[in-house]
Amino acid sequence: MTYRVIQVGTGGQGARWCESYLPPHVESGRIDVVAAVDVDADAHENAVEHLGLDESDCYTDTEAAFAETDADFCTIVTPPWTHEEVVDAAVEHDLDVLSEKPIADTLEASVRIAEKVKRAGLKMGVTMSHRFDRDKTTMRRRLHSGEPGPLDYLVGRFTCNARTYGRWGAFRHEMDNPLLVEGAVHQLDFLADMAGAKCERLYADTWLPEWAEYEDDVQATVQMRFENGVRATWEGAKANATTLNGWGNDYLRAECRDETLVLDGREITRYPYDQAEETVGGTNEVEGEEVPLDEQDHWANAWLVEQFLDWLDTDEPMATDVESNLQSVALVEAAIESSERDEAVDVQELLAEARENVEL
């Protein structure tokens, strides 16, 4: 079946949707992009050039686009604080939704969105692109295959030299909690995915060094404990002297019973357990074995579009459906609260309270 879609957001990240993420599915006949929306009319050129739309199919007003266009679903590639408004319009016009992360700018708004979509009987997916990168998918599949033995703990690192004003986009230098909101939303998400269970307890410590040209904290350490007993430690930084693992090139180490797996610079190496190598001194001189990265047609957002279309075809929810993805938003909210309160936060209790207090 070919699904008719309205692309909401054609500038910034929306341009990449027009250029790279949607075209493969247009070419395969799975979608037909019937309209596009962006408040900046100049950004419509991305939809015209890459998706073959006429100028008459491009709108600056979401409600007008939804009212005047026959469609099956919409995408949302707009700032997080605008997502709920677009979802409200989608619900009014009976459209399923595929949205960029996060669901919304707050946990409360995210819970409201999930509830509205549920009550309307619609489907909504969220694109967590880092989780579905080629390297992280390969590592996740190996961990979940059972070959490395039980997973004990994970260590993640996302550290950058971006301390000067404007280096990470001017708005991030002025916003609250830039590292947690704009970075950790991906990293904490794929750590939880690797762990294979919901996070039950999280402690975060964040701070702002005097040399970092930001208004709020850009350095962090986060400790997580999951319901299956797996632990995780994450280090995030935007104001270091050098970039060790920048955007998309995260470091991740998984300590399992039968092997240590290391992801670094999009390459994965395994170090099998060898009793003869046991030592408490010196360093490991074993080179390790390269783990070939998996092969498939699409990765990241292009693959997530495919997963969403499969969900529309089969009624089998994608892994990042809006209800499941509330866990990702709750992790970020818990990290912010933990740092502010300087104490560990029960993630599931935090999410439960948000559900109880939701007002539509």
For helices 347-356 and 322-341, give the axis angle rounded to 10 degrees. 110
Tokens representing residue 193 in the block: 């995915």
Mean pLDDT of 332-338: 98
pLDDT in tens, 18-40: 999 999 999 999 999 999 999 99
Asked whether 187 and 236 are in contact (CB, 8 A), the reply is yes
Question: What local confidence, expressed as pLDDT, does residue 39 receive?
Answer: 97
pLDDT (tens digit per residue) in 38-68: 999 999 999 999 999 999 999 999 999 999 9
Helix (H, G, I), strand (E, B) or coil at 147: coil
pLDDT value at position 254? 98
Residue extents of the structural domains in the chain: 3-130+300-321, 131-291
* C-beta contacts of 105-110 below 8 A and 24+ residues apart: 105/79, 105/80, 105/81, 106/333, 107/326, 107/329, 107/330, 107/333, 107/350, 107/351, 107/354, 108/354, 108/357, 108/358, 109/83, 109/84, 110/326, 110/329
> What confidence score (pLDDT) does residue 360 get?
79
CATH for 131-291, options being 3.40.50.2000, 3.30.360.10, 3.40.50.1820, 3.40.50.620: 3.30.360.10
Indicate whether 286 pLDDT > 80.
no
In CATH, which of 3.30.420.40, 3.40.50.720, 3.30.1330.50, 3.50.50.60 is domain 3-130+300-321?
Answer: 3.40.50.720
Among 159-173, 277-291, 293-307, 321-335, whose mean pLDDT is lowest? Answer: 277-291
Sort strands 259-264 and 251-256 into parallel, antiparallel or unpaired.
Answer: antiparallel
Q: What is the mean pLDDT of residues 343-351?
A: 98
Calpha distance 240→219 (Å, rounded): 9
Task: Judge if pTM exceeds 0.85.
Answer: yes
Lowest-confidence region among 49-58, 263-272, 273-282 = 273-282
CB atoms within 10 A of CB 148: 21
CA–CA separation, 63 vs 81, rounded Å? 17
Terminal Cα distance for the chain, rounded: 34
Dihedral sign from CA coordinates of 100, 106, 108, 109: negative
Tens-digit pLDDT profile for residues 56-100: 999 999 999 999 999 999 999 999 999 999 999 999 999 999 999
pLDDT recorded at residue 27 = 97
Output phi, psi for 172, to 5 deg. Answer: -70, -25
